[in-house]
Amino acid sequence: MYRELPKLIMFRELGEDSILGNLAEIIREQESEVYDKLELTGRIYREIRRILSLGTDYGFDKNLWHDYIAYVLVTNENPFSLTLERLGSGEGSVNSIVLGDMKVFNKLFNYDFSGLEEALGIDCFSTITNYTSIQKRTQLYNRNVSEKVRSLSDTIAEELGKAGKVRLDEGMTAAVTLKVVSDFYKKFGVGMFGLNTAFRVAPGVKFTPINNTDSFMLDDLIGYEIQKNKLRENTEAFLDGKPANNVLLFGDAGTGKSTSIKALINEYQDRGLRMIELYKHQMHMLSSVISAVKNRNYRFIIYMDDLSFEEDETEYKYLKAVIEGGLETRPDNVLIYATSNRRNLIRETWNDISDIELDKHRSDTLQEKLSLVSRFGITIPYMKPNKKQYEEIVKGLAEKSGIMGEEASETSGYTYEQLLAEANKWSVEHGGMSGRAARQLIDSLTR
């Protein structure tokens, strides 16, 4: 292993304290026959534990070593992988360089640890290459990463198996792996944005994946068909590279504004949609976030939930500058979708109105805030349902949950009329009629 890693060119950057680098050094020391057996074994166990931790985080199974090598490949952002992500082709002399790297990865993929195990009296590598993981709910690991990495791992293993049976030489076998890996980059991309779909922003404009997002789809939101269709039409135009607008969803609390936006990820992630959640106190990072993603081959929605500004807050200026456009225009692969309970995004008081004549500067500031709404190309209202609409939402959710048909089931104990009576009672006790209230009612009845 320590003889192979230095041969890497394009995939040379494996990160500090990489598992591969550490294991290579351990094997070099072991083969030198001048080592402390106990100390070397402890260092091996440290790397094994790291592989097991990756397996737990990402749901790896069966051959954890294969999955780990695949994980290294799919997270290595380099000129080759990024070019394939953006352009979908990697023709040219670079292929001969990457072909050499694939020869190395093929050897790493099928590395024989038996000599190391025999010398140190351990069997941990045999264990992780024939591993049966504990069954766990998908909420306990990153399913997006798991499915993609394990698919690549299985495909490489299958193709190398075929190549071995027909006795392909090293160069031809490397070409097979190169095609498999290239196809992966073309389809999914590379690195964090290739493996994940939703993100938060940490200080320093570092993106943190949001794991296990809700599986909610737009059709799961009962009613609001006009609103959902507007959202779909704009988002699909955006994904198709056609002109699309920033969107503001405004209206009453609990009506499905945030749910509608979050559902877009489940609807369109396979078409390259990614979502970045940005909080109001992070507004100063907006331009930097856009700069960080503008050259990636994905479509990004920057999602701002419950957006509103108080009288003395100035964060709106960062948003206004981006939406209006300065010297640097907003890239074609970025849109802003926001929700707010306030139509104008600010809390307007009687003092604000009366001060228009008394204080022109304050009036100008107010008008500047109010004008922010007009910069969103599309504004979509989400208002509380009337009684009939509320009852339709309750009925639809009850049917989806399986607790009600025309006749009450033996387990639910509710007829349709009884359920509506409960729904109206619930709305009085829980802040009025809304989709959220309906959802909470159904959840309480299905516990």
Helix (H) or strand (E) holding 249: strand 247-251
Cα–Cα distance measured from residue 421 to residue 418, given in angstroms and rounded to the nearest whole number: 5
Residues of the chain with CATH 3.40.50.300: 198-382
With a cut of 70, say whether residue 406 has pLDDT above it. Answer: no
pLDDT band at 446 (very low <50, low <70, confident <90, very high): confident
Q: What is the pLDDT of residues 266-294, one digit of tens each?
A: 999 989 999 999 998 898 899 899 999 99
389-392 LR contacts (CB < 8 Å, sep 24+): 389/223, 390/423, 390/427, 390/433, 390/434, 390/437, 390/438, 391/420, 391/423, 392/222, 392/223
Q: pLDDT at position 30, please?
A: 93
Is the model's pTM score more than 0.75? yes
| Of residues 61, 56, 25, the one with CA closest to residue 43 | 25
Cα–Cα distance measured from residue 442 to residue 396, given in angstroms and rounded to the nearest whole number: 10
| DSSP annotation of 49 | H
Rounded to the nearest 10 degrees, how much is the dihedral formed by the CA atoms of 59, 64, 70, 72? Answer: 90
Question: Please, are residues 272 and 299 in contact by the beta-carbon 8 Å criterion?
Answer: yes
Q: pLDDT at position 50, please?
A: 97
> Mean of the pLDDT values across residues 11-19?
91
Tokens, residue 295: 């050259």
CATH of 198-382, one of 3.40.250.10, 2.40.160.40, 3.40.50.10490, 3.40.50.300: 3.40.50.300
pLDDT band at 25 (very low <50, low <70, confident <90, very high): very high
Task: Cite the beta strand spans of 324-446 per DSSP E.
Answer: 334-340, 378-382
Q: pLDDT at position 365, please?
A: 58
Share of the chain above pLDDT 90, in %: 52
Q: What is the pLDDT of residues 229-256, one digit of tens each?
A: 999 999 999 999 999 999 999 988 888 8
> Mean of the pLDDT values across residues 192-220?
89
With a cut of 90, say whether residue 316 has pLDDT above it. Answer: no
Q: What is the pLDDT of residues 320-375, one digit of tens each?
A: 777 776 555 678 999 999 998 877 676 655 455 555 555 555 555 556 666 677 77
Cα–Cα distance measured from residue 38 to residue 22, given in angstroms and rounded to the nearest whole number: 16
351-354 LR contacts (CB < 8 Å, sep 24+): 352/311
Q: pLDDT at position 228, please?
A: 95
Q: pLDDT at position 417, please?
A: 82
Distances (CA, A) of 182 to 65, 90, 102, 151, 342: 21, 8, 11, 14, 47
> Mean of the pLDDT values across residues 424-436?
85
With a cut of 60, say whether residue 413 has pLDDT above it. Answer: no
